[in-house]
């Protein structure tokens, strides 16, 4: 299937040159299963949602918060009640965006029947958690006194609340549009009604998504692009060939072996900081991963520095925890002074082998059949093959690798029926909590179904205190509880390596992995 997609995409790219009449073509490597802002948590959906929808506020390129659908807001003296005033803005079909659209969108996330992936993100609001637990009934402190006013009240002061509001799950959706076709409204241009700078004109699944300027957008006069095409090319080498032959204007990722050459030779090459950690889930309910000594041995036996230097050939950083570098609280980077949890950037083969022997598998003898599942991606498969070889060399065990297309892989992993599953997490908002909340028992993104009352209680402390130093200490403690149980196999903290024509101005890609084309202009 992957080869067919690559062939179709490569053939389509030959249709014409880039930069035709205000058009821009950008290559993406993966396709999402859904583009529903309220329900999805998939990174692969972010580029499309981020250019077709807007929430109350948004990030600037400098990382500051500015108004989007809201042009004014206030916070009560106790830090609990937020009140937003909406600007005059329309949906792509010309209907006005109202405060009720936000109320409907948020309450939909809190309806278990909707199947949202991140309902816990809204539990910060008074009554939200109880509402969800009661099957979508009960009062929630969200209201729209009129069409232009939205207000909500938190259970506790949340210092990163404004950053949270930039995430797609907080975006508005239209009740009439969603309820007319709850499963399919994001699958056709006619029903994919949005409120951002672009609107979808074509969904060509397996090939491309084509956008046109949204003339109903409040800032339409400042949007220069007439047409924006996201071309799906799963293979990064094929995408690079298209870029270097002038058939596309930008690519979201380049093959790791090409990074040194592109860094030296190409004006189009870009290194973009990313708040993301690549890791695998161990399933503690499946043998032999039900023994923490096995999980720790597997983690200690891989050489993260070699992975970065020789497999990825990148500037990524070896990971020994789930929270990446670059998140600063109370004047400190989260990772400063954090425990190593018995791990290291280099492999520790002797200590790992001793742990495995203690678990009953001396020199790997008798180690059960184990399968490492992943999604189809040449770079990821290469990464896992390197880890497979490290386990063979350092522990004398054979672990199989099985890859399937994302649309098949992800639903299977959600059932938690694997032994080891490749995944990772990119920040939804620039705060350590976005990486830690994943492992709460009620999080649908807790794909190991791991549970710890101590972990949950420690995060509650981090969320409830107004003292930033105390919150930071509690989050570090929570990461320690998770990492000392070795429920994940941390690999590396990510950067994004991409290309964009130097003729493109105003393009930026956030550390949350969303490429923004709203302000793009193309020089002649």
Q: Is residue 7 part of a domain?
A: no
pLDDT band at 21 (very low <50, low <70, confident <90, very high): low
- DSSP conformational letter for 518: T
Domain CATH code at residue 57: 3.40.190.10
**What is the percent of the chain with per-residue pLDDT over 90, rounded to a whole number?**
84
Provide the pLDDT for residue 436: 96
465 and 364, same structural domain?
yes
407 versus 347: the higher-pLDDT residue is: 347
Provide the pLDDT for residue 12: 36
Residues paired with 273 in a beta bridge = 495
CA angle in degrees (0–180, nearest 5) for 89-60-236:
105
Is 524 a residue whose pLDDT tops 80? no
DSSP E strands in 177-221: the ranges are: 198-204, 208-213
Provide the pLDDT for residue 10: 36
Q: What mean pLDDT do residues 112-127 have? A: 94
pLDDT in tens, 341-370: 999 999 999 999 999 999 999 999 999 999
Is 253 a residue whose pLDDT tops 90? yes
298 and 415, same structural domain?
yes
In the predicted model, what is the mean pLDDT of the chain?
93
464 versus 69: the higher-pLDDT residue is: 69
Q: Is residue 10 part of a domain?
A: no
Whole-number Cα distances in Å, 458 to 126, 437, 454, 481, 486:
20, 11, 6, 9, 18
Is 49 a residue whose pLDDT tops 80? yes
Provide the pLDDT for residue 15: 37
pLDDT in tens, 466-498: 788 999 999 999 999 999 999 999 999 999 999
At 67, list the tokens. 């108004």
Q: What mean pLDDT do residues 510-522 have? A: 93
506 and 465, same structural domain?
no
341 and 325, same structural domain?
yes
101 and 29, same structural domain?
yes
Provide the pLDDT for residue 8: 33
Is 227 a residue whose pLDDT tops 50? yes
Q: Is residue 259 part of a domain?
A: no
Q: What mean pLDDT do residues 379-404 have? A: 97
pLDDT band at 194 (very low <50, low <70, confident <90, very high): very high
Q: Is residue 39 part of a domain?
A: yes
55 and 42, same structural domain?
yes
pLDDT band at 256 (very low <50, low <70, confident <90, very high): confident
- 51 in Cβ contact with 516 (< 8 Å): yes
291 and 188, same structural domain?
no
446 versus 524: the higher-pLDDT residue is: 446
Helices (H), 228-291: 236-244, 259-265
Is 523 a residue whose pLDDT tops 80? yes
Q: What mean pLDDT do residues 506-519 have? A: 94
468 and 508, same structural domain?
no
Residues paired with 209 in a beta bridge = 203, 230
Backbone angles phi and psi of 379, in degrees to 5: -65, -40
Q: What's the predicted TM-score (pTM) here?
A: 0.81
Q: Is the dihedral of CA 506, 511, 513, 514 positive or negative?
A: negative
Q: Is residue 254 part of a domain?
A: no
Structurally, how many domains does the chain consist of?
A: 2
88: number of Cβ within 10 Å: 9
Is 4 a residue whose pLDDT tops 80? no
At 524, list the tokens. 């002649």
291 and 223, same structural domain?
no
Provide the pLDDT for residue 428: 85
21: number of Cβ within 10 Å: 6
pLDDT band at 434 (very low <50, low <70, confident <90, very high): very high
Is 2 a residue whose pLDDT tops 50? no
Domain CATH code at residue 399: 3.10.105.10
Nearest to 250 by CA among 91, 480, 23, 512: 23
Q: What mean pLDDT do residues 61-79 have? A: 95
338 and 225, same structural domain?
no
Provide the pLDDT for residue 467: 86
212 and 281, same structural domain?
no
Q: What mean pLDDT do residues 37-59 have? A: 94
Domain boundaries, position 370: 273-496
Task: Identify the weakest region by mean pLDDT among 16-25, 52-61, 324-333.
Answer: 16-25
5 versus 407: the higher-pLDDT residue is: 407
Q: Is residue 252 part of a domain?
A: no
Task: Identify the weakest region by mean pLDDT among 43-52, 323-332, 381-390.
Answer: 323-332
Q: Is residue 514 part of a domain?
A: yes
- 240 in Cβ contact with 251 (< 8 Å): yes
H or E stretch including 306?
helix 304-306
455 and 509, same structural domain?
no
Q: Is residue 149 part of a domain?
A: yes
pLDDT band at 187 (very low <50, low <70, confident <90, very high): very high
């Amino acid at each position: 299937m992957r080869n067919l997609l690559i062939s179709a995409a490569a053939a389509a790219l030959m249709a014409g040159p880039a930069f035709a009449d205000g058009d821009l073509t950008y290559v993406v490597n993966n396709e999402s299963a859904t583009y529903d802002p309220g329900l999805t948590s998939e990174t692969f959906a972010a580029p499309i949602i981020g250019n077709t929808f807007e929430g109350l506020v948004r990030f600037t390129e400098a990382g500051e918060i500015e108004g989007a659908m809201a042009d004014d807001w206030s916070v009560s003296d106790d830090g609990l009640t937020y009140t937003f005033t909406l600007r005059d803005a329309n949906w792509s079909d010309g209907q006005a965006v109202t405060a009720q659209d936000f109320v409907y969108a948020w309450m939909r996330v809190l309806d278990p029947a909707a199947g949202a992936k991140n309902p816990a993100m809204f539990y910060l609001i008074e009554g939200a958690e109880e509402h969800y637990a009661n099957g979508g009934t009960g009062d929630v402190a969200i209201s729209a006194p009129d069409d232009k006013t939205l207000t909500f009240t938190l259970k506790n002061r949340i210092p990163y609340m404004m950053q949270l509001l930039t995430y797609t799950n907080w975006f508005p959706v239209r009740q009439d549009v969603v309820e007319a076709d709850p499963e399919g409204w994001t699958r056709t241009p006619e029903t994919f009604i949005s409120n951002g700078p672009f609107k979808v004109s074509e969904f060509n699944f397996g090939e491309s998504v084509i956008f046109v300027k949204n003339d109903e957008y409040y800032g339409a006069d400042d949007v220069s692009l007439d047409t924006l095409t996201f071309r799906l090319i799963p293979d990064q080498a094929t995408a690079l060939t298209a870029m270097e032959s002038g058939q596309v204007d930008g690519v979201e990722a380049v093959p790791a072996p090409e990074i040194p050459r592109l860094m030296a030779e190409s004006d189009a090459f870009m290194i973009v900081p990313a708040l993301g950690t690549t890791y695998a889930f161990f399933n503690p309910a499946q043998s032999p991963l039900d023994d923490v000594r096995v999980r720790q041995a597997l983690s200690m036996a891989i050489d993260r520095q070699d992975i970065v230097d020789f497999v990825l050939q990148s500037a990524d950083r070896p990971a020994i925890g789930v929270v990446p570098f670059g998140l600063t609280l109370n004047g400190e980077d989260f990772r400063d002074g954090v425990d190593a949890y018995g791990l290291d950037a280099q492999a520790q083969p002797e200590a790992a082998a001793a742990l495995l022997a203690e678990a009953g598998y001396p020199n790997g003898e008798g180690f059960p059949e184990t399968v490492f599942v992943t999604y189809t991606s040449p770079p990821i498969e290469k990464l896992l093959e390197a880890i497979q070889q490290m386990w063979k060399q350092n522990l004398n065990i054979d672990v199989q690798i099985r890859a399937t297309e994302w649309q098949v892989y992800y639903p299977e992993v959600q059932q938690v029926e694997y032994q080891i599953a490749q995944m990772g997490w990119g920040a939804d908002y620039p705060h350590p909590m976005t990486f830690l909340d994943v492992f709460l028992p009620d999080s649908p993104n807790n794909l190991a179904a791991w549970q710890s009352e101590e972990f949950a209680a420690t995060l509650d402390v981090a969320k409830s205190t107004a003292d930033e130093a105390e919150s930071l200490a509690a989050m570090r403690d929570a990461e320690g509880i998770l990492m000392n149980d070795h429920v994940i196999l941390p690999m590396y903290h990510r950067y994004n390596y991409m290309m964009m024509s130097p003729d493109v101005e105003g393009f930026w890609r956030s550390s949350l992995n969303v490429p923004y084309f709203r302000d793009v202009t193309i020089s002649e």
